[in-house]
Amino acid sequence: MKIKITKLLNSKRRWCVCLLPLIFLACELPDYSGSKEELSFTEYEEFSLSSIKASSTEVAERINSSSFLRGFDVSTLYDLERYGASFYNNENKKEDMLKILADNGVNCVRIRIWNDPYNANSTPSLANYGYNTLEKAAIIGARAKSYGLKVWIDFHYSDTWAHPGQQLCPAVWDNYTEIDALAQAVSDYTEKSLAYLKANGAAADFVQIGNEIDSGMFLTSSKNKSAKVTAKLNTEELAKILNSASSAVKKVDKETEVIIHVANPAYYTRITELSGLESDNYDAIGISYYPCDNGREISVLKNSVSGIVGKGKKAYVAETSFPWTCEYVDGKNDDMSNTVYYTNDDSKGSSVAKATSNFSDVIKKYEISTKLHNGAKIINPIYENQARIIKTIIAEVAENGGSGVFYWGGDWVCTTDIPSSWENQTLFDLDGKVLPSIKAFSVKAE
């Protein structure tokens, strides 16, 4: 599929000084007063999103509680605004995306932090986006707090992306040769970072110590070469790193929840069974659950959440998403291949056909619509189904004792300067207007 570059509005900006405790931050804020340039917005039809039919009063109360997290990852927001993205509410008015989220049921935002993404000695990440510094996290976090949103900090402990296939040590820690020294560096960094956020009005309510650590942490050097010391899966070294990080979080604020995150839902046992990990030090396990990936049947989600809860820990879906379109729109899409396609060809990314199989047990229950595409039955990638998929995940997580769901990449629209492989999975359309699927975050149970 050929994809071209889109040009969104270049938002005006004003510079201000944010007066926050102890530290002054220069804040680059978008201008929400409107634009001289007119956009022709799509007018979306209203659709019905019924309430969740909970199996018990207890489950309904869990879903409807303000403590059940209806979360949204906003890690790219700072750079998106910097490079021209604008966001619009249901009335086509330009507005702070964080306010749009808060007005539509989101109660917590997730913000990743990389140690030093501008470090020339590290393996570079993709150009122009994702450079998530502590300072940017503080600015976005403080804005989120001003709208009453809670803040979940996602430490990657790397200068770039950390995930199952890539756990790079940040360049500044490359020369450590002993695990105790590396653990102390993790502790110091965690404590200082959280203290900085707290001093700047962005105190963390939840802290994720590592990102998708299915295989361990610090498995290679910052240049993706052999590391001098590692924290591999099922090792005392990994337990030391996690104990050190979690203790640092509790030192700053003992009420802050500590989450350990794995990508594969079934791998939660790699945490609960990790020898040497002090169970009292962490509070929850987060999992990634992408319906369009292999091995993500709804039963896997349910079994993992109930298994985590059965171990005495809170369970969260830390990342999920679903496409609202797989259609190419001339002049709107950018030049990066999107992650989710119609196709079944794995070389081109995930397929909505996989989601059809993964959700086969609940398609009728949650009123998810299907259609035929090239002779195959698929979940129709439309905003109505995007909302129903989110609703399904919220309902099934809650039914099995879980405590919240976070949507990943919902902000990642494409701009002239920032490409996106996720634009068809955002909660905003190709012009930055919020989609009707946002109502999934305010769905209630009965």
Q: Is the pLDDT of residue 346 over 80?
A: no
Residue 331 pLDDT: 82
b/e sequence 300-333, b meaning 16+ C-beta within 10 Å: bbbebbbbbbeeebbbbbbbbbbbbbbeeeeebb
Residue 15 pLDDT: 35
Q: Which backbone phi and psi does 394 adopt, to 5 degrees?
A: -60, -45
Q: Is the pLDDT of residue 21 over 90?
A: no
Q: In the chain, pLDDT over 70 holds for what percent of residues?
A: 89
Average pLDDT over residues 242-270: 98
Average pLDDT over residues 220-233: 95
Q: Is the pLDDT of residue 288 over 50?
A: yes
**What are the structural domains, with CATH classification, of the chain?**
42-343+382-442 (3.20.20.80)
* Sequence-ordered alpha helix ranges (H) in 147-256: 179-199, 236-252
Give 65-93 pLDDT, tens digit per residue: 999 999 999 999 999 998 889 999 999 99
CA distance 326 to 424: 7
Average pLDDT over residues 52-56: 98
CA distance 307 to 193: 32
Q: Is the pLDDT of residue 130 over 60?
A: yes
For residue 380, give the 3-state DSSP assignment.
Answer: coil
CA distance 379 to 368: 7
Angle between helices 134-146 and 179-199 (to 10 degrees): 40
Q: In the chain, pLDDT over 90 holds for what percent of residues?
A: 77
In terms of Cβ atoms closer than 10 Å to its own Cβ (0-12, 13-18, 19+), residue 177 is: exposed
Residue 23 pLDDT: 44
Residue 17 pLDDT: 38
Nearest CA to 245 out of 222, 217, 225, 220 is that of 217
Strands annotated E in 3-62: 13-19, 24-30
- Global pTM reads 0.92
Q: Is the pLDDT of residue 159 over 70?
A: yes
Q: What share of the chain is helix, strand, coil (3-state, %, to 5)?
A: 30, 20, 50
Average pLDDT over residues 356-377: 94
- Contact predicate 112/151, CB 8 Å: no
Q: Which backbone phi and psi does 318 adopt, to 5 degrees?
A: -80, -20
At residue 38 the predicted structure's pLDDT band, cuts being 50, 70 and 90, is low
Residue 297 pLDDT: 97
Q: Which backbone phi and psi does 138 adopt, to 5 degrees?
A: -65, -40
CA distance 440 to 409: 16
Q: Name residue 286's beta-bridge partners.
A: 261, 316
Q: Is the backbone of residue 34 left (phi > 0), alpha (psi -120 to 50) or beta?
A: left
* Mean of per-residue pLDDT scores for the chain: 90
CA distance 198 to 204: 7
SS (H, E, C) 297-346: CHHHHHHHHHHHHHCCCEEEEEECCCCCCCCCCCCCCCCCCCCEECCCCH
Bigger pLDDT: 353 or 35? 353
CA distance 428 to 349: 21
Q: Is the pLDDT of residue 309 over 50?
A: yes
CA distance 105 to 405: 12
Give 413-436 pLDDT, tens digit per residue: 988 788 899 999 999 999 999 999
Nearest CA to 368 out of 322, 411, 426, 304 is that of 322
Rg of the chain on CA atoms, in Å: 21
At residue 27 the predicted structure's pLDDT band, cuts being 50, 70 and 90, is low
Q: Is the pLDDT of residue 252 over 80?
A: yes
